[in-house]
Structure 1
Amino acid sequence: MNDSHRLELENIRITLNDAPLVELDTRIGPGEVLTVMGPSGSGKSTLLAFVAGFMAPAFQATGQVRLDGHDITRLPAERRGIGLLFQDPLLFPHLSVAGNLRFGMPRATSNRAGRVEAALGEIGLAGFGDRDPATLSGGQKARVALMRLLLSEPCAVLLDEPFAGLDTHLRHEMRQLVFTRLREAGLPSLLVTHDREDAEDAGGTLIELSA
């Protein structure tokens, strides 16, 4: 476990037409999950977009996003070192399962084929490398998306309703897998969700936004 990754949200204030949406001042330590809950329109997805670096220009924000002590507030999204996991796995349809896993890996990664095969084995999909993503079940796609994220070696992770598209049994299974792997990797994570069970399984601090 990496014990150096920390995500700090310092005096964040997000407004829309001068009306305050989100006010937050918190720190997320290695392997911790901060859950932000709230109804649609409360600003939780906008907070995620601000941290990730692609907030819509209609919103205004002040404060700092710091990752491992570095201010990344004004860096472009691709240079922030933050991984994202969405409700839709967003697998590339023109790439095989292995191709999807290789896509995000740092260029300097050695033995890429071996890393991919080992990763597939870890998520119960050994031998699936040549498969077309379209042939996978919803749960299998979600596991591939998680492993693609981990292989990209992010320093922090944002989770945008990642379990919402799964049935009840799969949701619990994927929550356990995702939160366990994020803890093992020592990654500070910010989860936005409508589902209180997501927050309970995440096990960290819960912040609730009002409409």
Structure 2
Amino acid sequence: MNALQLLQVRVTPRNAERPLFPDLTVTIPAGEVLTLMGPSGIGKSTLVDFIGGHLGPGFRATGRVLLNGRDMTALPAEARGIGILFQDAVLFPHLSVGDNLAFGLSGAVRGRRDRRRKVEDALDRAGLPGFYDRDPATLSGGQRARVALMRALLAEPRALLLDEPFAKLDPELRQEIRAFVLDHVRARDIPVLMVTHDASDAEAAGGPRISL
């Protein structure tokens, strides 16, 4: 099955007995964007950390994460093939925009010329032609968000997690970047889990939603 599945997932703080949310079992088919909603502090980002393989030592988790039928639960983050787009579009400050994108390239892309071509193509699709040698510090918030998404997609993830990626954008830019992100992830035909506390994000995603 081409899907991201969470089976009886429960996340609990190490110093507590009660889990952050009830056991979660859900299947996200390829091409679908499922929105997980809830107020700040309910555990949405912690769930993303568990799915992506980044759960911190302050939490313990039970349940399983399956991707395309394969159990990912015990695998390290780099072996899962699950991309993550965070609230903060963190770029490496010591690398150019192009080198930031190249960092995300799949290892299957070999040779300097092919890697450069892939990155230039991604910049064109992001509406940022000619930005290869730009310093990330010179980018606007919207430009940084576009670069961060393209870097995530260049890794050719088999599923993608969106962790409040639009929360810090002003309303007008939020709508623009949200449309850009959702259009690109739908085109990849992979399962996508988006967590947010904003109902407009869920409406834009158009898929099913779950409230924690």
Which residue, 169, 177, 186 being the options, matches 1:174? 177
Q: Counterparts of 1:60 and 1:93 in 2: how far apart (Å)?
A: 33
User: Could you tell me which residue of structure 1 aligns to residue 190 of structure 2?
Assistant: 187
User: Could you tell me which residue of structure 2 aligns to residue 20 of structure 1?
Assistant: 19
**What is the one-letter code of the residue matched to 2:12?**
T
| Structure 1 stretch displaced more, 53-62 or 75-84 | 53-62
User: Could you tell me which residue of structure 2 aligns to residue 39 of structure 1?
Assistant: 39
1:204 aligns with 2:203: no
**What is the one-letter code of the residue matched to 1:191?**
M
For structure 1, the 5+ residue unaligned runs are none
User: Could you tell me which residue of structure 2 aligns to residue 135 of structure 1?
Assistant: 138
For structure 2, the 5+ residue unaligned runs are none
- Say which SS state the counterpart of residue 178 (structure 1) adopts: helix
User: Could you tell me which residue of structure 2 aligns to residue 106 of structure 1?
Assistant: 106
Listed as ranges, the matches of 1:29-68 within 5 Å are: 29-68=29-68
TM-score, normalised relative to structure 2: 0.93
How far apart are 1:79 and its partner, in Å? 1.2
**Runs of 4+ deviating beyond 6 Å:** none
**What is the one-letter code of the residue matched to 1:194?**
H
Please list the CA deviations of residues 135-172 of structure 1 after superposition, one character each: whole Å capped at 9, or x if unmatched: 11110111011100110111111111100111111111
The percentage of aligned residue pairs carrying the same residue is 58
- Say which SS state the counterpart of residue 126 (structure 1) adopts: coil
Q: Counterparts of 2:103 and 2:56 in 1: how far apart (Å)?
A: 27
Q: Counterparts of 2:82 and 2:133 in 1: how far apart (Å)?
A: 28
User: Could you tell me which residue of structure 1 aligns to residue 92 of structure 2?
Assistant: 92
User: Could you tell me which residue of structure 1 aligns to residue 157 of structure 2?
Assistant: 154
